Amino acid sequence: MDSTISDLLTRLADIQKYAYDHHITNYWIWAGLVILSLIFVALGAGAALWMSDSKLSGTFAIVNGLIIGLNSGLGFGNSAQFYRQLAADAKVAIYDLESNKTSNQLKNSQEVYRQLQQKLAKDLPVGTGPK
């Protein structure tokens, strides 16, 4: 029974670390996209104002750049949220298992592990994720 618990703790910890790493990575990508989009907004607005006398076209360039940048950033934000929830679920299962270590708790943690693995399998391409 003890080896089963330690094996499960290891697998849950792998999922937690994997999810946490991806959560951080996705936030860095999201921040980079927002900064990049703001640079393009400034360039687009400058070009639009330089090419025509109309301030309206410059405003359209700014709004368009913001919409494109934030839209692409939101996808990474949602992805980061998925991984953050996954890491939190794994952390709770680890805490429950380490604090109780009863056979009933082991079954519950195994069920949580199975659900986390299904979540990962559904949302990730084949061949990725913790081993």
99 domain residue, yes or no: yes
73 domain residue, yes or no: yes
3 domain residue, yes or no: no
Give the per-residue pLDDT at 55. Answer: 60
Contact 53, 40 (CB under 8 A): no
Number of compact structural domains in the chain: 1
Which residues of the chain have a pLDDT value below 70? 1-5, 44-59, 61, 65, 69-77, 100-103, 105, 122-131
What's the CA gap between 131 and 109, in Å, rounded? 18
130 domain residue, yes or no: no
58 domain residue, yes or no: yes
What's the CA gap between 102 and 99, in Å, rounded? 9
Give the per-residue pLDDT at 3. Answer: 65
Q: Which of 72, 98, 88 is nearest to 20 (CA)?
A: 88
Give the per-residue pLDDT at 19. Answer: 79
DSSP category for residue 102: -
Q: Which of 94, 110, 119, 104 is nearest to 4 (CA)?
A: 110
What's the CA gap between 42 and 128, in Å, rounded? 38
**Residue-range definition of the domain harbouring residue 92:** 10-123
Give the per-residue pLDDT at 83. Answer: 78
Q: Which of 100, 121, 102, 98 is nearest to 15 (CA)?
A: 121
Give the per-residue pLDDT at 69. Answer: 67
71 domain residue, yes or no: yes
98 domain residue, yes or no: yes
106 domain residue, yes or no: yes
Exposure string over 99-130, b if 16+ CB within 10 A, otherwise e: eeeeeebbeebbebbeebeebbeeeeeeeebb
Give the per-residue pLDDT at 12. Answer: 78
Contact 116, 45 (CB under 8 A): no
Give the per-residue pLDDT at 96. Answer: 75
